[in-house]
Amino acid sequence: MRDFKPDIYQNSIFDINYDKLYQKGIRCLLFDLDNTLGLYSEPTCSKEAKDLITKLKKKFTIVIVTNSGKGRITPYLEDLGVDGISWAFKPSCKSLVKIKAKYHLTKKEMIIIGDQLMTDILAGKKFKIMTAFVNPLGKRDLPVTGLNRFIENKIINKYSKKGDFERGKYYE
Ligand SMILES: [Mg+2]
């Protein structure tokens, strides 16, 4: 089986130790949008997420990478004043290649943070950058995500049988 085990697993983006990431040399945080930074039902950014990103912007380059369209991402980018890529087609790494070049980064300086193994984490694994997995903020997914969640559950079950990685067992 392909390696899907994220480098970090936390409940949400609010639980990640960003100081530790900075100490490890991370300079660019790539955030997934839906169910990572915001709920599907939130057309704009929540205050909590905005406060976090505002703080993180002082130290890191922040880029939102979403498989959703431009209409979905634009209010978030305007609100947060960060860069972003829509229609990223994760697990394709194309968007990561672009961001690496645009900001003159090394792979060791990048981490992708998201709520889906089959898109966010797989893109990071393929591109060989650090990966952080979080639980989805909400219960609702896009219909297209249903199949990915089904496969994701099977993968997590395999890992948890080996005692490697299971839902709710966080590590950093
Ligand atoms: Mg997501």
67, amino acid identity = N
Question: What's the CA-to-centroid distance between 165 and ligand 1, angstroms?
Answer: 19
Question: What's the CA-to-centroid distance between 112 and ligand 1, angstroms?
Answer: 11
DSSP secondary structure code for residue 24 in this structure: T
Please identify which residue in the block is written with the tokens 């219909």: 143
Question: What's the CA-to-centroid distance between 136 and ligand 1, angstroms?
Answer: 7
pLDDT digit string, tens, across residues 29-55: 999 999 999 998 889 999 999 999 999
Quick check: helix, strand or coil at residue 148? helix
All structural domains of the chain with their residue ranges: 8-162
For residues 161 and 100, give the distance between their C-alpha atoms in angstroms, rounded to a whole number. Answer: 36
70, amino acid identity = K
pLDDT digit string, tens, across residues 90-132: 999 999 999 999 999 999 999 999 999 999 999 999 999 999 9
Question: What's the CA-to-centroid distance between 36 and ligand 1, angstroms?
Answer: 5
DSSP secondary structure code for residue 25 in this structure: T
For residues 83 and 67, give the distance between their C-alpha atoms in angstroms, rounded to a whole number. Answer: 15
- For residues 62 and 53, the answer to whether their CB atoms sit within 8 Å is yes
- For residues 116 and 33, the answer to whether their CB atoms sit within 8 Å is no
Strand partners, 8: 132
CATH 3.40.50.1000 fits 8-162, yes or no: yes
Question: What's the CA-to-centroid distance between 68 and ligand 1, angstroms?
Answer: 9
What per-residue confidence (pLDDT) applies to 139?
78
